[in-house]
Amino acid sequence: MFIITCPFCGERDQSEFSAGGEAHIIRPKQPTELSDDEWADFLFMRKNIKGVQFERWNHAHGCRKWFNVIRDTSNDKIHAVYKMGEKPPSD
């Protein structure tokens, strides 16, 4: 377990949150023009790296709002938390 700082509620235990996968996935402008393989890549293929990753999280057992987290997946260290629509902090 680890602590996540919700940008709306403050520090909470990780058990209150649901992970929503990789952040900043851009939807294709013309999805109907994609091949089946291209559409499948958009829907299912994610980086899932060992290291620093940009992720979406939902405070499911709290304010129920979505936000982004920069987290090192190798040790669960959180480098930054920021609201949806905001640009990631640059360090």
Residue 91 has pLDDT above 80, yes or no: no
Does the structural domain 3-26+36-83 have CATH classification 2.40.30.10?
Answer: no
* Residue pLDDT, tens place only, 17-29: 999 999 999 999 9
- Please state the domain extents for the chain: 3-26+36-83
**How far is the CA of 16 from the CAs of 10, 21, 29, in angstroms?**
12, 16, 34
Q: Please tell me the distance from the alpha carbon of residue 45 to that of residue 22, in angstroms, as a whole number.
A: 10
Average pLDDT of the residues in 26-50: 93
Which pLDDT score is estimated for 48? 87
E strand or H helix at 11: strand 10-13
User: What is the widest separation between alpha-carbon atoms in the chain?
Assistant: 44
